[in-house]
Amino acid sequence: MQASVMCIIIASLIAFPIAHAEESTTPENTSIKFVEEDSADCSIADGKLITIQNTNPTTGYQVWVDRWFMDVQTPDHTKQILLPNTAATPLGCSMARGGGKQHWTIYSVKVID
């Protein structure tokens, strides 16, 4: 019984390969990073300061960022211009002062001159 189940599983894997997400190796995905930093303002609510940073030394990016509060996307869709060789741009605290976790996601990235 086990051998026949294994044959079915193997046959299904051959016929329908498992889809997996691969990280893209485009500069937009490898050069833009979210960084958590210690901050006195954020530590009041037991959080960290979330920043976004361009690690590419020669290319600038226009990045649209979405904010999520308590796992709900908020309407504030912000544009960040991330130039090469500049400090990280602060977005906000991982924990809001009134309570509740928040985080940011990248909506789009565009190379700028």
pLDDT category of residue 76 using cuts at 50, 70 and 90: confident
DSSP code for 13: H
Instruction: Tell me the pTM.
Output: 0.70
Alpha-helical runs (H) found in 35-77: 40-43
Residue percentage of the chain with pLDDT more than 70: 74
What are the tokens at 22? 């691969």
How far does Cα 17 stand from its chain's mean position? Answer: 27
User: In the predicted model, is pLDDT for residue 26 greater than 60?
Assistant: no
CA distance 46 to 96: 9
User: pLDDT tens digits for 54-69?
Assistant: 999 999 999 999 999 9
